[in-house]
Amino acid sequence: MSTLSSVIVLMGSLVALLAGIGILRFSTPYARFHAAGKASPIAFLIVAIGAVLELGLTGAAQLLIAAVAMTLTLPVGVHLLFRAAYRTTSNDHLIVDDLATATVVDNED
């Protein structure tokens, strides 16, 4: 491996390590989802850039497809996890709860 691609892959690995530490250390599910949802695609993109530098254009197309798929689907998945956690856990720790009025179902017939 070239030195530049090795350094870039190592930087992406460190971002993934920080995301893992955040998942373990944060106290609320929202903070954990945030750590996983933000850092993991960034770590993947950094590692993919390092891999493209090493592989050249032969592996770049497959990594580009994977990067696009991850960038499009991960925010939606994390959003759904946020909603599920909000609906199933106590939200007493929230200072501002903008969803409190949105989750009340009005059953007027």
Instruction: Decide if 108 is inside a domain.
Output: no
Could you report the per-residue pLDDT of 28-58, keeping only the tens digit for each?
Answer: 888 888 888 888 889 989 999 998 888 888 7
pTM of the shown model: 0.73
More confident residue, 102 or 95: 95
Domain range spanning residue 62?
A: 3-87
Mean pLDDT of 77-95: 80
The domain total for the chain is 1
Instruction: Decide if 104 is inside a domain.
Output: no
Instruction: Decide if 98 is inside a domain.
Output: no
Per-residue model confidence (pLDDT) at position 46 = 93
Instruction: Decide if 50 is inside a domain.
Output: yes
Tokens at 46, concatenated: 């950094």
More confident residue, 107 or 62: 62
Choose among 33, 37, 59: nearest CA to 48.
59
Choose among 51, 49, 48, 23: nearest CA to 37.
23
